Amino acid sequence: MNYPNGMKKPTQLNQSSNPTNQSFSNRGMSLEEDINVTNQYYLDLDKAVIHKKPTPVQIVKVNYPRRSAAVITEAYFKQASTTDYNGLYRGKYVDFEAKETKNKTLFPLANIHDHQISHMENVVRHGGICFIVIRFTLHDETYYMKAEQLFKHWYDKLKNGKKSISYQVVKENSYLIPFSYQARVDYLAIIDKLYF
């Protein structure tokens, strides 16, 4: 098939020379993209209202080469962000962080920050559902770890303990998130098992 300008439309076969090397579940999408697709699916079904939190940015300088092409040239973060996602599911407040690592054997705790732990502790203390989604890209596996489990590793690190969580420990102390076509990161399936 050709486009109106005469160029050929790329076929699926041309886009990937070796489809066996592609992962069915990830297909080049990042964890954030997968969660956003999942959240939109939940919203479309009226199952949950969960959104990515915007990062608060203060714009300092804008370049206007043309009226229709403004470019932000200088900006800074107004404040440290808390977690990536929040919203409501079955009358409960849901709040979580999403991280992916290319490390095959561990998840570095350097990916988490003090203010995020403090925020997550507040959510748990007030009865919200709080967790972290960890994707090991080389294993093509995504896990749901309860915030309370994360806290144990965090405070161990602060007492000169391990600065990471091993893949094996994540696997044993977290929940593998099932993949489905529309709900790519179906974390509500885990929440249903744990809370409802």
**131-150, pLDDT tens digit by residue?**
999 999 999 999 999 999 99
The band of 80, judged by pLDDT with boundaries at 50, 70 and 90, is low
Domain positions in the chain:
28-54+81-195
The predicted structure's pLDDT at residue 15: 35
How far is it, in rounded angstroms, from Cα 62 to Cα 56? 17
Largest Cα span, the chain: 66
Task: Say which range, 4-8, 38-42, 53-57, 146-150, has the weakest mean pLDDT.
Answer: 4-8
Q: Which two tokens stand for residue 111?
A: 């990916």
Top pLDDT among 22 and 100 is at 100
The answer to whether 84 is annotated as binding is: yes
**CATH node for 28-54+81-195:** 3.40.1350.10
The predicted structure's pLDDT at residue 7: 47
- 8 A C-beta contact, residue 83 and residue 91: no
**pLDDT averaged over every residue in the chain:** 85
pTM of the model: 0.77
The answer to whether 44 is annotated as binding is: no
Task: Say which range, 71-85, 110-124, 142-156, has the weakest mean pLDDT.
Answer: 71-85
Q: Which two tokens stand for residue 79?
A: 């404040």
Cα 108 to Cα 87, 100, 112, 113, 129: the distances in Å are: 27, 10, 8, 11, 23
The predicted structure's pLDDT at residue 79: 58
Task: Say which range, 24-28, 59-63, 113-117, has the weakest mean pLDDT.
Answer: 24-28
The answer to whether 137 is annotated as binding is: no
- 8 A C-beta contact, residue 168 and residue 134: no
The answer to whether 34 is annotated as binding is: no
How far is it, in rounded angstroms, from Cα 180 to Cα 106? 25
The band of 23, judged by pLDDT with boundaries at 50, 70 and 90, is very low
